[in-house]
Structure 1
Amino acid sequence: MTAIPAGEFSDYVDAIAGALVRDGYCVVDAGVPDELLWALYERTGPRSSAAFRRAGIGRDDSFRLNSKLRTDTIHWLSHDYPAESAYLHWMEYLRLELNRRLFLGLFDFECHFARYGKGAFYKKHLDAFAGNTNRILSTVLYLNPRWQDSWGGELALYRDFDSDPIENIAPVMGRLVLFFSERFPHEVRPAVRRRYSIAGWFRVREF
């Protein structure tokens, strides 16, 4: 696991970029401001008034629900709410800084809150849609205060669909995970508690 300490934002992004070049993924345990984390938790947590819906797979005409593959509910972030807008601005700054360092051509960012109830899961999958390569870099920000490892709910990251996990990442409050979308199959394992996160994708322009 590549754990990156808090510090100046430029050093923080340097460390992320270095880990992505070296390993293709990284795990960041500090960086997103605490005030923003708690505002996001209020927006998605048990007292949230946001409208959540069942998550599906695919997009547009290929979208379908599949409770054998995933059982979470989601709410897409927008600039209509202060906490959501603040996070989108924060990730926009990260997008610009990563482009300066890695020349990835990242064009925009989309993300949604994900709520996983007790026992909910998302089976092993890739984030890139079939025939569509615009999702380049996946992100997950966890919003679970005082999470204990014994509760489960890890993100298991794989090199390929047939290998053992290279990382089992606990959904600790404030932890940010980034990985290349087409390179790493991954799954969200069941937990004995509800848990909350923001799943997002930096994308390149479609032509």
Structure 2
Amino acid sequence: MEELLDHISAEIYEKSYAIVDGFVDESFRKALLEEQIDLLNRGKFRQAAVGVGENKQIRTEIRSDEVLWMDADNLSANQATYWAKVEEIKKILNQRCFLGLRSFEGHFARYPIGSFYKRHLDQFHAVPHRVVTVILYLNDSWAPEDGGALRMYFPQEDGTELTEDVLPLGGRLVVFLSAEIPHEVLPTHKERISITGWLRDID
């Protein structure tokens, strides 16, 4: 775990994002996946919205995923274990990158077949406290033809952009600076499941 944390902090410092395969072991990934499927079957998920507060609205032409927010004061055993792992990421990023991270918020995310999330930034004027995005994928298997990749955009000094597509492989962790990397979820041809969250500079 210490080696993984060192890798994450070094990558964030050098290029603003990190990708770690096998961040959690298979038994824990399956436990989180089974818990999410159970919650889904019990009708706990809701259509994801855009905006915050009075401006929050469902815009399926922008995003068509479903989410279930985790309650930091009422976590299941599996959620608490994952929360503790993210806490370790928070500590190393504060030590090595001086980001002033203080808290975490997160939700289970489900992308049904055909769903997507158009290009956006996770930190914007209405949510200025999101500093680092943390995504853990839970799918049993994934192939390029399944779609659903996380596409990250990297603007260049000459006005062009580079892109990198990241498949949602089970156990893969993606960490990036929320204000710096525009990204989208490409249309998925298979149900896509993850935990998505943000390390914030507020309590």
Give TM-score, length-normalised by structure 2.
Answer: 0.90
SS at 2:85's partner residue? helix
Q: Which amino acid aligns with 2:12?
A: L
* Candidates 107, 110, 113, aligned match of 1:112: 107
Structure-2 separation of matches of 1:110 and 1:126: 16
Structure-2 separation of matches of 1:49 and 1:143: 19
Q: Is 1:182 aligned to residue 179 of structure 2?
A: yes
Which deviations, in whole Å up to 9, do the C-alpha atoms of 1:4-47 show, x marking residues without a partner?
xxxxx222111111111111111110222333211110122377
> What is the CA-CA distance between 1:50 and the residue it aligns to?
6.0
Aligned to 2:95: 100
Q: Which amino acid aligns with 1:73?
A: E
* Candidates 120, 127, 130, aligned match of 2:122: 127
Structure-2 separation of matches of 1:107 and 1:93: 12
Q: Which amino acid aligns with 2:61?
A: K
SS at 1:45's partner residue? helix
Unaligned runs of 5+ in 2: none
Structure-2 separation of matches of 1:15 and 1:111: 22
CA distance 1:50–1:11, shift in 2 (3 Å): farther
Unaligned runs of 5+ in 1: 1-8
Structure-1 separation of matches of 2:79 and 2:43: 11
Q: Is 1:23 aligned to residue 20 of structure 2?
A: no
Q: What value does the CA root-mean-square deviation take over the aligned residues? A: 2.0
CA distance 1:48–1:101, shift in 2 (3 Å): farther
> What is the CA-CA distance between 1:191 and the residue it aligns to?
1.6
1:69-80 equivalences under 5 Å are 69-78=62-71, 79-80=74-75
Q: Is the 8 A contact 1:25 1:177 kept in 2?
A: yes
CA distance 1:168–1:86, shift in 2 (3 Å): same
> What is the CA-CA distance between 1:145 and the residue it aligns to?
0.8
Q: Is the 8 A contact 2:124 2:179 kept in 1?
A: no
Q: Is the 8 A contact 1:45 1:196 kept in 2?
A: no
Q: Which amino acid aligns with 2:183?
A: H
Q: Is the 8 A contact 1:110 1:200 kept in 2?
A: yes
Aligned to 1:6: none
Q: Is the 8 A contact 2:150 2:183 kept in 1?
A: yes
Structure-2 separation of matches of 1:187 and 1:199: 13
1:1-207 equivalences under 5 Å are 9-45=1-37, 48-49=41-42, 51-78=44-71, 79-160=74-155, 164-205=161-202
Q: Is the 8 A contact 1:44 1:50 kept in 2?
A: no
Q: Is the 8 A contact 1:26 1:179 kept in 2?
A: yes
Q: Is the 8 A contact 2:52 2:126 kept in 1?
A: no
Structure-2 separation of matches of 1:23 and 1:40: 29
Q: Is the 8 A contact 1:77 1:111 kept in 2?
A: yes
Q: Which amino acid aligns with 1:33?
A: D
> What is the CA-CA distance between 1:130 and the residue it aligns to?
1.7
